[in-house]
Chain A
Amino acid sequence: MAYWISILTEACIFSIMALGVNVIWGWAGDFDLAIYGYVALGVYLTIAMTTGPPVAPAEYILGWHLPYLVAVLVAVAMVLPVAAIVGSIALRNLREIYFAITTLGAISVLYVVVQVYTPLFNGFNGIAGLVTPMAGTFNLSYGNYQYFLLGFCAVLMLIAVVVLQRLSASPYGRALRSIRDNEQAAAAFGRSVFRAKLTAYLLGAGLAAFGGSLFAAYLGAFNPSAWAPQEILTLYAAVLVGGRGNVRGVVVGTFIVYIGFIELTRYLPNVGGNTEFGPSAREFLIGALIVVMLKFRPQGIFPDRHGMPRAWGAPGWLRPLAGTQVDAVGEQDAGS
């Protein structure tokens, strides 16, 4: 039971991160590889701001004693300028392949700097010490705490879904999709392409950092082995499975990928005494899932029918809120 609570909490947290990926890639159409870096910064900053000054030999910045909820907000606010720098460089006149390369560069450099420059977040060893935040405030026992954390993350995830669902159907959501599908046409109709893309990038990065802050409460400790640049692919797999662009679909996709894959691969044996076999097989399958989805069903299980006739497609409860016909142009290839 405790195991399932833990898995569900994790899935709720990853759903929030996947929703961030969905804003940047699903709506704005930018294949961003740096987003897991914002998750990592969110985790690091939240821990560094709540656990107090480092105890030697550990060293890290900040070292404050902020209440957890305040630290979450401050962490998100601190990640946004970083994302703004990366976004305003990468989105100015780079698209598709060049955008992907630049953001891959950004996260690779962040990864190297965090690893090598120990005064930042204690290098390879990482930082630790965030134990059951908010437990004191709400007077929770250790036994109750994990139920509380699950409820807390689930409520925040639902709030994110409702807000994004509104945004998806709003003029802004439609503008983003129209830019994704045909940038020149959207510009000709008076959209500020760069500004729309940058705000989407910041919204996605903010969601990623917010997910990271919750992840900090779940993990309690963090180090570079937890966020290699390849980790982002699991989030992309979740978005691809759920249906790129479809908010509720993405959440379902995240639950399918995280719970399905963790359960499926939990019982893999360690072949030939190779302890890496199980985790590697899982990542191998994530890679295979991405390739297979892209090849055979790029629109996902629950396609985003935004602006399309709603006579067919996802079941009613998964369908996005009322859409319009504005951006039906260019939607023929859901994979573009």
Chain B
Amino acid sequence: MNQFLEYVGFGIVTAAVLSLSAVALTLQFAVSRVANLAHGELLTIGAYSAYEFLQWTNSVIVAALGAAVVGGIAGVAMNLGLIERFAGRPPVITLIATLGLSLMLQNLLTMIFGAANEVYSINQGSPHHIGPFLLTDAEILVTLSAIAVASALFVLLQYTKFGKALRAVSDNRELARASGIPAQGVVTATWGIAGLIAGFAGFVLAETIGTFGPTLGFGYLLITLAAAVAGGLGRPYGTLLGALIVGLVLELAGAYFNSSYQLAFALGVLVLLLLVRPNGILVPGRQITR
């Protein structure tokens, strides 16, 4: 039983990292109605930025902030440079274009940094017993930061004018624009926020894994998609729940079977949910989904 609870603890840490990545993806989807397959590269860019800032200043806080800021800039650039240029085209065409962009960015990063893996030199701290869980300082910080980001997002969406505008644009961009909401600005700002979260997520992901390379984000894309689809694409709160479910499944399945097959378990959850509740775990119904 204790052993089981320890695995649950690791599952929560995994879910925390995953929630950051998945919430960023779902925010992009909420305003642009496109599943961004180049989302993983925002994480990778964040991880490399953090690496450079860490080399330069040796401060973890600067590295985390640097990853977020560069990720935010990359998110805005991705939206203005690609997504908006495909506005009005069928979503699947934009989807293919984002996959092309993903290939471009992966190889651009390889050209700049080489294909070899990089390693952060961050002290993980000693493991503590927190209730039934056994977690290191770094893992506790990761979990707390994910909770902080989720809370900040909740306040932003629920209690600010911007949040209201974002929800309106998500429902219907044309209607929002007709009501006097600067829809274009809201979309750009949302991509900026999503990029901030994704860049930070990349740093946290690389830090928890230990090493990373140019395909860090692409390798994490499927797990991110599984969490986001589980919660319903474009639904931030559902996505948090999806991340928790997928995170726990990954850790528990990894602990009791074989951790090498994590992706297979993520896919299992994804396919099951797509067949039963394609629009997210909180939304009943199984009509044809596009």
In the complex, are the beta carbons of B287 and A230 less than 8 A apart? no
> What's the least CB distance linking A122 to chain B, in Å?
16
> What's the least CB distance linking A13 to chain B, in Å?
21
Chain B residue numbers with a CB within 8 Å of A125 are none
Closest chain B residue, CB of each to CB of A93? B288
Known: A105-B270, A109-B264, A116-B260. A97 touches B91 (CB 8 A): yes
Chain A residue numbers with a CB within 8 Å of B37 are 100, 104
Known: A283-B107, A290-B96, A294-B100. A102 touches B271 (CB 8 A): yes
Contact for A271 among B93, B100, B111, B266, CB less than 8 A: B111
In the complex, are the beta carbons of B101 and A116 less than 8 A apart? no
In the complex, are the beta carbons of A291 and B93 less than 8 A apart? no
Is A280 engaged at the interface, CB distance under 8 Å to the other chain? yes
Is B47 engaged at the interface, CB distance under 8 Å to the other chain? no
Q: Is the interface of B mostly helix, strand, loop or mixed?
A: helix
Chain B residue numbers with a CB within 8 Å of A108 are 222, 263, 267
Known: A97-B35, A105-B270, A294-B97. A335 touches B222 (CB 8 A): no
Give A94 to B110 CA distance when docked, in angstroms: 34
Chain A residue numbers with a CB within 8 Å of B97 are 290-291, 294-295
* Interface residue range, chain B: 35 or more
Closest chain B residue, CB of each to CB of A236? B96
B window 183-201: CB within 8 A of A: none
In the complex, are the beta carbons of B229 and A98 less than 8 A apart? yes
> What's the least CB distance linking A239 to chain B, in Å?
11
In the complex, are the beta carbons of A335 and B93 less than 8 A apart? yes
In the complex, are the beta carbons of B260 and A112 less than 8 A apart? yes
Give A113 to B268 CA distance when docked, in angstroms: 14
A-B Cβ contacts below 8 A, count: 146
Give A125 to B35 CA distance when docked, in angstroms: 34
Closest chain A residue, CB of each to CB of B218? A230
Give A294 to B82 CA distance when docked, in angstroms: 11
Chain A residue numbers with a CB within 8 Å of B100 are 233, 286-291, 294
Closest chain A residue, CB of each to CB of B270? A105
> What's the least CB distance linking A184 to chain B, in Å?
10
In the complex, are the beta carbons of B261 and A112 less than 8 A apart? yes
In the complex, are the beta carbons of B270 and A95 less than 8 A apart? no
Chain A residue numbers with a CB within 8 Å of B85 are 295
Chain B residue numbers with a CB within 8 Å of A283 are 103, 106-107
Contact for B95 among A96, A116, A298, CB less than 8 A: A96
> What's the least CB distance linking A214 to chain B, in Å?
25
> What's the least CB distance linking B258 to chain A, in Å?
8
Known: A94-B278, A106-B267, A333-B90. A100 touches B95 (CB 8 A): yes
Contact for A96 among B91, B105, B115, B258, CB less than 8 A: B91
Give A274 to B263 CA distance when docked, in angstroms: 31
Q: Per-residue 0/1 for A256-283: is the Cβ within 8 Å of any B Cβ (1 yes, 0 no)?
A: 0000000000000001001011001101
Known: A284-B104, A335-B90. A112 touches B270 (CB 8 A): no
Pairs A–B under 8 Å by Cβ, sample size 27:
A94-B278, A94-B289, A97-B91, A97-B290, A98-B229, A98-B278, A100-B35, A100-B92, A102-B271, A104-B37, A104-B221, A105-B225, A105-B226, A105-B271, A108-B222, A109-B264, A113-B261, A116-B261, A230-B102, A274-B114, A280-B115, A284-B103, A287-B103, A288-B100, A289-B100, A294-B93, A335-B93
Closest A-B pairs by Cβ, 4 of them: A287-B103, A290-B100, A287-B104, A284-B107
Instruction: Add 5 more A-B contacts to A98-B290, A298-B93 (CB < 8 A).
Output: A102-B274, A105-B263, A109-B264, A112-B261, A274-B114
